[in-house]
DNA sequence: ACCTGAACACCGTTCAAGT
DNA sequence: ACCTGAACACCGTTCAAGT
C-alpha cells in the first residue's frame, strides 16, 4: 500500500473508533471522514460498507476476547468459566451503542464482513457451553444458538439501561440460573 | 376538530400503521405523509414527534393487552398467567421492527408520549409478578424492572431471529425457569 | 494508484404562503 | 384554523476530475 494510503487508513480507523464510541455504531460516515481529514470517497475506497469499517475497528479485540476463553477454561471450573466469559462478551459488545444488534444481525449472513467475528464468538461460546454441559452444570438440551440469543438480548437490554454497572452481571445471573439441569 | 383535519388524522394513522408494519418503527415520516396524501407539515401538526405517532397507532392495543391480564389472572394459576401474558407482550412488541427498543428507551422518560404505554405495561407486569411471588412460583427478590429488562431483551432478540415462531416461547421458558425459587 | 469534493437522492423539520 | 410544499440542514453513496 502506498504511504499516503496507509496513513489515511490509520487515520480513518482512529477517527472511526472515536466516533463509534461517541455516537454509537450508526455514527455519520461523513463525519468520520471529516475527522480523519479525508474525502468521503477515500473512506469508501478503504471500507466499502459500514460493517467493513466496524470489523476493521473491532475485529482484533473480538479475537483477543475469544482467545481469552482458553485461559478462563484452564483456570476456572466449567460453569464459572462460562459465566465469566459471557460477562466479558456482554461488556465488550456494549462498548458502544448499536454494536450488539449489529453483531446479532450478521450472525446468519456469511457475506458480511462481521461474519468472521460472529463465528468466532459463537464457536468460543459453544466450546465453553459444551464443557459446562459435560460438567453437569448446564442442561444438555440447551442449544448454543438459544444461549447466544439470550446473551445478545441481555446486551441490548444493557444498552438501554446505562448507569448501572452491575446490570449485565445481574441479568446473566438470573438467566444462567434457569439453565441449570432440573434436580 | 374540522372535518378535513379529522379526515387527514385518520388517513395519517392508517398510513403510519401500514408503513410501520412494512418498514419498522423508523419508517420515513415523509413517506407516511405521502401515502396519506397529505403535506409533511400536516403530519407534524397532528403528531409533533415520531413517538407521538407511534403512541397514536399503538396506544389502544397496549391498553387492550394490559386489560387482558385481568382475564388471565382470573382463569389461570399465577405462574401460568404471568408466562402467558409475557408471551403476549413479546408478540405484541415485535409486531414491527424497532418497537421493542423504542418502548425500552422511553420507560424512564416521563415526558415521552409513549410513557403512558410503558407505565401500563410495567404496572400490569408487576401485578402479575407479585401474584406469582405470593403463590411461591417466583423468587421474592426479583425486581420488576429486572424482569422487564429480560423480557425486553427477549423481544429484541426475537426481532433479530425471524422465521421461528416458537422462539419467544422458548426464550421465555428458559428465562422463567431461572426465576423459580431455589429448592 | 489514489485522493478530492461536487453531485445525487434521500431524510427530518420548519415555516411562509395560501385557503 | 388548517393545509401545502418549498426550503434548510443533514446523510450515504457515487464518480468525474485531478495528482
Digits of tens for pLDDT over chain A (183 positions)? 777 789 999 999 999 999 999 999 999 999 999 999 999 999 999 999 999 999 999 999 999 999 999 999 999 999 999 999 999 999 999 999 999 999 888 778 888 999 999 999 999 999 999 999 999 989 899 999 999 999 999 999 999 887 899 999 999 999 988 766 655
The average confidence (pLDDT) of chain B is 93
Report residue B5's pLDDT band, with 50, 70 and 90 as the boundaries.
confident
Question: Which bases along strand C come within 7 Å of a protein CB atom?
Answer: 1-7, 10-16
Let me know if B152 is exposed, middle or buried by CB neighbors in 10 A (0-12, 13-18, 19+): buried
* Per-residue pLDDT at A182: 57
Q: Is the dihedral of CA A48, A54, A57, A61 positive or negative?
A: negative
- The C-alpha cell 408503513 sits at B19
* Per-residue pLDDT at A179: 63
Which residues from chain B sit within 8 angstroms of residue A175, using beta carbons? 150, 174-175, 178
- The C-alpha cell 416521563 sits at B110
Please report, in angstroms and rounded to a whole number, the separation of the first and last CA atoms in chain A: 61
Residue B156 in grid coordinates: 429484541
**Cβ partners under 8 Å of residue B105, min gap 6:** A160
**Are A149 and B142 within 8 A, CB to CB?**
no
For residue B100, the chain A residue with the least C-alpha distance is A157
Contact B107, B122 (CB under 8 A): yes
Which residues from chain A sit within 8 angstroms of residue B146, using beta carbons? 170-171, 174
* Per-residue pLDDT at A128: 97
| Residue A92 Cβ < 7 Å to strand D | no
Query: Phi/psi class of residue A37: alpha, beta or left (left: φ > 0; alpha: ψ in -120 to 50)?
Result: left
Instruction: Answer yes or no: is pLDDT of B183 > 70.
Output: no
Identify which of A95, A179, A89 has the alpha carbon closest to the alpha carbon of residue A140. A179
* Per-residue pLDDT at A57: 96
Residue B3 in grid coordinates: 372535518
Which residues from chain A sit within 8 angstroms of residue B171, using beta carbons? 146, 149-150, 153
**Are B174 and A170 within 8 A, CB to CB?**
no
Mean pLDDT of B34-57: 96
Q: How far apart are CA A144 and CA A129, in angstroms?
A: 7
Nearest to B170 among A146, A170, A175 (CB): A146
- Distance D2 C1' – B1 CA (angstroms): 10
Identify which of B129, B161, B162, B168 has the alpha carbon closest to the alpha carbon of residue B145. B129
* Per-residue pLDDT at B160: 87
H helices present in A76-178, as ranges: 78-93, 99-105, 115-134, 144-160, 167-177
Across the A/B interface, how many CB contacts are shorter than 8 Å? 80
DSSP of B11-51, one letter per residue?
HHHHHHHHHHHHH-TT--HHHHHHHHT--HHHHHHH-SSHH
- Distance D16 C1' – A39 CA (angstroms): 15
Amino acid at each position: 500500500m502506498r504511504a499516503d494510503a496507509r496513513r489515511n487508513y490509520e487515520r480513518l480507523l482512529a477517527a472511526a473508533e472515536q466516533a463509534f464510541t461517541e455516537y454509537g455504531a450508526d455514527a455519520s460516515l461523513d463525519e468520520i471522514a471529516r475527522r480523519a481529514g479525508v474525502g468521503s470517497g477515500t473512506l469508501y475506497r478503504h471500507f466499502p460498507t459500514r460493517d467493513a469499517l466496524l470489523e476493521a475497528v473491532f475485529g482484533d479485540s473480538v479475537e483477543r476476547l475469544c482467545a481469552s476463553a482458553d485461559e478462563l477454561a484452564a483456570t476456572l471450573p466449567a460453569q464459572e468459566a462460562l459465566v465469566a466469559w459471557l460477562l466479558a462478551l456482554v461488556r465488550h459488545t456494549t462498548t458502544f451503542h448499536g454494536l450488539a444488534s449489529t453483531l446479532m444481525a450478521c450472525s446468519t449472513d456469511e457475506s458480511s464482513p462481521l461474519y468472521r467475528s460472529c463465528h468466532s464468538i459463537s464457536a468460543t461460546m459453544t466450546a465453553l457451553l459444551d464443557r459446562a454441559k459435560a460438567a453437569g452444570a448446564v442442561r444438555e438440551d440447551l442449544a448454543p444458538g438459544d444461549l447466544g440469543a439470550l446473551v445478545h438480548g441481555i446486551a441490548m437490554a444493557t444498552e438501554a439501561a446505562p448507569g448501572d454497572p452491575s446490570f449485565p452481571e445481574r441479568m446473566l445471573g438470573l438467566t444462567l440460573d434457569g439453565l441449570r439441569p432440573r434436580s
